[in-house]
Chain A
Amino acid sequence: MLTLDNVHTYYGKSHILHGVSIEVRAGEVVGLLGRNGVGKSTTLKTVMGLVRPSEGSVTFEGREIGGMASHHVAHLGIAWVPEDRRIFRLLSVMENLRTGLDRPGVTEARRTALLDKIYASFPVLAERRNQAGGTLSGGEQQMLAIARAMMLEPKIILLDEPTEGLMPRMVSQIREIIEVLHRDGVAILLVEQNVPLTLEASERVYIMEKGVVRHHAPAADLQANHAVIHQYLGV
């Protein structure tokens, strides 16, 4: 469904991605592991149209999307949950959700159903619906960021380090949400530093180093073979 083929990107003069190739099939959870600064977030930003690939192609459902304006990318069914969450801090929780919900073609019944689903998964967001996004705790902001992405009813969610800096209880909640999304048939490209969680949640895993994919294997194989993990991630 989503295919990156030999993607190169630059920030100014620094070469970040050196020919990244990744594939995510419909409904699949794919992990993307790697140390800090190897280009994982840049890979997601390139898919989202925030960084233009200088070489290579990004296709979604057979259509070239490399360098497409990000609102068009979103309309195709790709949602992004960025690393720093990027909650609209001065907007209320409900207004944050509405940024994804107020799309053309969403009926009143559909709106209600979507909101009910979110509030069932994240009861705390229902409680705080009229509170400004900036006043939520880190974990609550992460949930809001995921819930906001779900409002787009995406076919795939690009999830960037969702468990970073969260308490263990919150981490297991994120793990559950990934499970729920997977059951609903939403594909996920999961960028993480948390190796156990990634191996558990994903079907396949890519390991990146210095702007390229070094290793690619089913998650089960990596779970059995810790030498590879140790080699690239040092854990």
Chain B
Amino acid sequence: MGIPFDQILIQTINGLVNGMILALVASGLTLIFGIMDVVNFAHGELVMLGAFTGATTLAVTGNFWLALIVATLAIAAFGAVLQVSTLRPLLGRDPLTTILATFGISLVLQKYALWQWGPSARKLQEPITGQFTLFYLQYPWYRIATALLSAAIIGALYLFLKYGKFGIWIRAAMQDRVMAQAMGIPVPSLHIAVFAIGAGMAAASGVLFGPLAGVTQNIGADFTLRAFIVVVVGGMGNLGGSILASIFISLLEAYASLIVSPSQAVIVSFVALILTLLFRPTGLFVPTPK
């Protein structure tokens, strides 16, 4: 059975677009894991809260870009509060404790969203409605814009980590928390800042993703799962690895859906996860450990 070239190209673009949104979520998750050793199972809920906050702001102001900024900042601040109130007291305990705590937070946030915004999906109106012709499809420019904007945010994060004073502090603390603190780096405050950055990035992806699907209280769980797969496949705590893995997994799913139905295509990411854990548990996109 031959697959036409145009379908492959369309799926490549789809995979890249989905991959960039996922990378935005996963880079926050991996950053938080890298510095705190906490797998934040409530990360997807921050995506969801970001989407709802964006939808509400858009309804009030009518400006999508303003909604994007407001949601990002509001959820970043919420993330800081969450870190101080829930995760900081648990730091250094058994990993199971923080897994249960963040899982608990995700349930609370889902139910809160249900109570606050109701069960029906909200539509976030995209700011760019134009389309271009891609073979037999009218492909929305907005999807391309989403991928570019996600790439820009990730690029800004990279530059911040690479050259900024706080970026160097964060990388130092990711490598050796104790030594970083002994060098006078205020590691506890850094934890709050990193959690806030991760939460803000999750919220931004929620707003960007909102117009592509509806916004419901359930969109978070899917993101948590996919981002978690990506973080493991990319190598826990490895930012570059997570970004590559996001694109890799999304492309894999996109190509698989050429052959099987999209809901079955999800299986390939789990297969990739299991194979990674079996044969290369440190992650696919990290140098072979010595």
Closest B-chain residue to A158, C-beta based?
B182
Most buried by B among A50, A71, A89, A96: A71
Whether, in the assembled complex, B266 has its beta carbon less than 8 Å from a beta carbon of chain A, the answer is: no
Instruction: Name the segment of A97-105, A182-190, A197-205 touching the other chain.
Output: A97-105
Chain B residues whose C-beta falls within 8 Å of the C-beta of A102 in the assembled complex: 165, 168-169
- A88 in complex: contacting residue of B165, B171, B186, CB < 8 Å: B171
Give the residues in chain B near A227, CB-CB below 8 Å.
none
Chain B contacts of A90 at CB under 8 A?
Answer: 171, 175
Contact indicator B169/A89 (Cβ below 8 Å): no
A48 within 8 A of partner (CB): yes
Q: Does A117 contact B (CB under 8 A)?
A: no
Q: Is B178 an interface residue, CB under 8 A from the partner?
A: yes
Residues in A with CB closer than 8 Å to B165 are 98, 102
B180 CB to closest chain A CB (Å) equals 7
Residue among B169, B176, B188 with the highest chain A CB neighbour number at 10 A: B176
CB of A91 within 8 A of CB of B175, answer yes
Interface size on B, residues (CB 8 A): 18
> B169 contacts A99, CB within 8 Å?
yes
Residues of A within 8 A of B180 (CB): 88, 99
A90 to B187, CA, bound (A): 18
Is A48 a contact partner of B182 (Cβ separation < 8 A)? yes
Given contacts A91-B168, A95-B168, contact A100 B175 (CB under 8 A): no
Interface hits, A66-123 → B, CB 8 Å: 69-71, 73-75, 79-80, 82, 86, 88-91, 95-96, 98-100, 102-103
User: Is B131 part of the binding interface, using a Cβ–Cβ cutoff of 8 Å?
Assistant: no
B175-214 near A? 1/0 per residue, CB < 8 Å: 1101111111111100000000000000000000000000
- Cβ-defined contact, A50 with B182, below 8 A: yes
Q: Identify the closest chain A residue to B166 (Cβ).
A: A102
Task: Say which residue of B168, B171, B176, B184 sits within 8 Å of A71 (CB atoms).
Answer: B184
Which residues of chain B have C-beta atoms less than 8 A from A98's C-beta?
A: 165, 168
**A72 nearest CB across to chain B (Å):** 9
A9 to chain B, nearest CB (A): 16
- B175-A99 in contact (CB<8A): no
> In the complex, which residue of chain A has the Cβ closest to the Cβ of B186?
A71
Cβ contact within 8 Å between A100 and B178: no
- Residues of A near B172 (CB, < 8 A) are 88, 91, 95-96, 99
User: Could you say which of A73, A74, A75, A99 contacts B168, with CB atoms under 8 Å apart?
Assistant: A99
- The interface residues of chain A lying within 8 Å CB-to-CB of B178 are 50, 70, 86
How far apart are the CA atoms of A123 and B115 in the complex, in Å? 64
In the complex, chain A residues whose CB is within 8 Å of the CB of B171: 88, 90-91, 95
- A85 closest partner in B (C-beta): B179
- B211 CB to nearest A CB, Å: 38
By a CB distance below 8 angstroms, the chain A residues around B182 are 48, 50, 70-71, 73-74, 79-80, 82
A73 to B185, CA, bound (A): 11
Chain A residues positioned under 8 Å from B184 (CB to CB): 71, 74-75, 100, 103, 152
> Can you report 25 residue pairs joining A to B where beta carbons are below 8 Å apart?
A50-B178, A69-B181, A71-B181, A71-B185, A71-B187, A74-B182, A82-B179, A82-B182, A86-B176, A86-B179, A88-B171, A88-B176, A95-B168, A95-B171, A95-B172, A96-B172, A99-B169, A99-B180, A99-B185, A100-B183, A102-B165, A102-B168, A102-B169, A152-B183, A152-B184
